[in-house]
Structure 1
Amino acid sequence: MSESPGELLTKISKGDEKAFADFFRLFEKRLYNFIKQKLNDPFEAADILNETFLEVWRKAETFEGRSKVSTWLFGIAYFKTVDRMRKNGKVIVDSDSIPEIEDDSADAMACLLSKENGAHIRFCLEQLKLPHRTVIELAFLQDMAYGEIASVVDCPENTVKTRMFHAKQLMKNCLSNRLGGTV
């Protein structure tokens, strides 16, 4: 498969089923893991994954190219996940009320993602509220820039920076407690 995601999306918009299958294979695992981390339910995650790709099939022509294809795709998945959480009665805390404090340093968390501390990191990630966990996952697991994350979660870039700042602080505190103050 030598076609870019954008080229595949163009073909999908014209009804090309092979391009859709290639697109699905390209993003399936990353997108499924992203959704599953929010819901912690593999069956619901698979359901939302299918809904997301169905949306891609139906609305491929609406992609305007103002962001990366992956940003557009993860945005669809994010909002479908949030809608499902609301429908299931899970509380989603809006962290927009937190005062904005900019933090551009993505490298501060890179050391935390080492293999030996993986279980502690997963535990602490699960303790974060959805807005904080989402920015961490998109930045460090999906390698998205703050501008892309802002597009995915549909909020200003400064809000993403604020959420990242608070998420890092919460992660640091959680890991410090779990590791006996060594973070």
Structure 2
Amino acid sequence: MDDPDLAWLRRVADGDEGALERLYARHSTALLRYAQRLLGDREAAEEALQDTFVALWQGAGSFEGRSAVRTWLFGICRRQALARAGRHREESLPVDYAEAFPDGAARPDDVVLARADAAAVGAALARLPAAQREVIHLAFAAELPHAAIAQLLSIPVGTVKSRLFLARAALARALPGATAVERSRR
């Protein structure tokens, strides 16, 4: 596996603080957004991010290479955020979650999503089941491939694809203009 972060991770395992700072600079923004999506609270997300990098510092030598370092970091972050959330996991997402979606899509439902009002997208995302929201975020905001998402969530790749399909379909139906998109697909 040609992973540009692997050399940095090995240096972290050897106690190199500069390498830890490098990995933090490369991944902290995406990890913080992910933790905030999971927790719904910026302060709790920042604490989960800090816990993620403490765990990275302490466990860098245990990396087995079964995934990309970035995927491994998202797994650590997910565990830290969910441990912090406990049983009272936040189910709603902030409106700025819509920023995670690209605006140059070719399919009609993608065009509707890209042009939709941010508040409408945020509300539509909040109505999705948590499992679909998480897959949407990992695929679009974190830009993880389907196989990495499947490994991170311990689900089959087909389940990742199904959740993405269902989430995108639900979002297209929930957003203004979706009716025309649905008619054009028939």
- Kindly tell me: are residues 68 and 112 of structure 1, through their superposed partners in 2, closer, same or farther at Cα, counting changes over 3 Å? farther
For the residues of structure 2 that align with 1:29 and 1:56, how far apart are their CA atoms? Answer: 16
User: Equivalent residues in 2 for 1:58-137 (5 A)?
Assistant: 58-85=58-85, 87-90=86-89, 110-112=110-112, 114=114, 117-137=117-137
How many correspondences in the alignment?
A: 165
Q: 1:112: how far off?
A: 5.0
For the residues of structure 2 that align with 1:17 and 1:163, how far apart are their CA atoms? Answer: 39
Gaps of 5+ in 1: 93-105
User: Are the counterparts in 1 of residues 39 and 89 from structure 2 also a CA contact under 8 Å?
Assistant: no
Taking structure 2 as the reference length, the TM-score comes to 0.77
Which residue of structure 2 aligns with residue 97 of structure 1? none
Q: 1:154: how far off?
A: 1.7
- Kindly tell me: are residues 107 and 49 of structure 1, through their superposed partners in 2, closer, same or farther at Cα, counting changes over 3 Å? farther
User: Are the counterparts in 2 of residues 110 and 140 from structure 1 also a CA contact under 8 Å?
Assistant: no
Which residue of structure 2 aligns with residue 155 of structure 1? 155
Divergent runs of 4+, >4 A: 106-110
User: Are the counterparts in 2 of residues 5 and 23 from structure 1 also a CA contact under 8 Å?
Assistant: yes
Taking structure 1 as the reference length, the TM-score comes to 0.78
Q: 1:138: how far off?
A: 1.0
Gaps of 5+ in 2: 92-104, 182-186
- Kindly tell me: are residues 29 and 181 of structure 1, through their superposed partners in 2, closer, same or farther at Cα, counting changes over 3 Å? same
- Kindly tell me: are residues 107 and 179 of structure 1, through their superposed partners in 2, closer, same or farther at Cα, counting changes over 3 Å? closer
Question: Which amino acid in the other structure matches residue 129 of structure 1?
Answer: P
Question: Which amino acid in the other structure matches residue 128 of structure 2?
Answer: L
- Kindly tell me: are residues 111 and 152 of structure 1, through their superposed partners in 2, closer, same or farther at Cα, counting changes over 3 Å? farther
For the residues of structure 1 that align with 2:130 and 2:174, how far apart are their CA atoms? Answer: 16
Give the fraction of aligned pairs with identical amino acids, expressed as a percent.
30
- Kindly tell me: are residues 169 and 115 of structure 1, through their superposed partners in 2, closer, same or farther at Cα, counting changes over 3 Å? closer
Which residue of structure 2 aligns with residue 46 of structure 1? 46
Task: Please report the RMSD computed on the Cα atoms of aligned residues, expressed in angstroms.
Answer: 2.5
For the residues of structure 1 that align with 2:44 and 2:13, how far apart are their CA atoms? Answer: 27
User: Are the counterparts in 1 of residues 39 and 90 from structure 2 also a CA contact under 8 Å?
Assistant: no
Which residue of structure 2 aligns with residue 55 of structure 1? 55
User: Are the counterparts in 1 of residues 8 and 20 from structure 2 also a CA contact under 8 Å?
Assistant: yes
- Kindly tell me: are residues 91 and 33 of structure 1, through their superposed partners in 2, closer, same or farther at Cα, counting changes over 3 Å? closer
- Kindly tell me: are residues 166 and 66 of structure 1, through their superposed partners in 2, closer, same or farther at Cα, counting changes over 3 Å? same
SS at match of 1:76: helix
For the residues of structure 1 that align with 2:157 and 2:71, how far apart are their CA atoms? Answer: 14
SS at match of 1:59: helix
User: Are the counterparts in 1 of residues 71 and 148 from structure 2 also a CA contact under 8 Å?
Assistant: yes
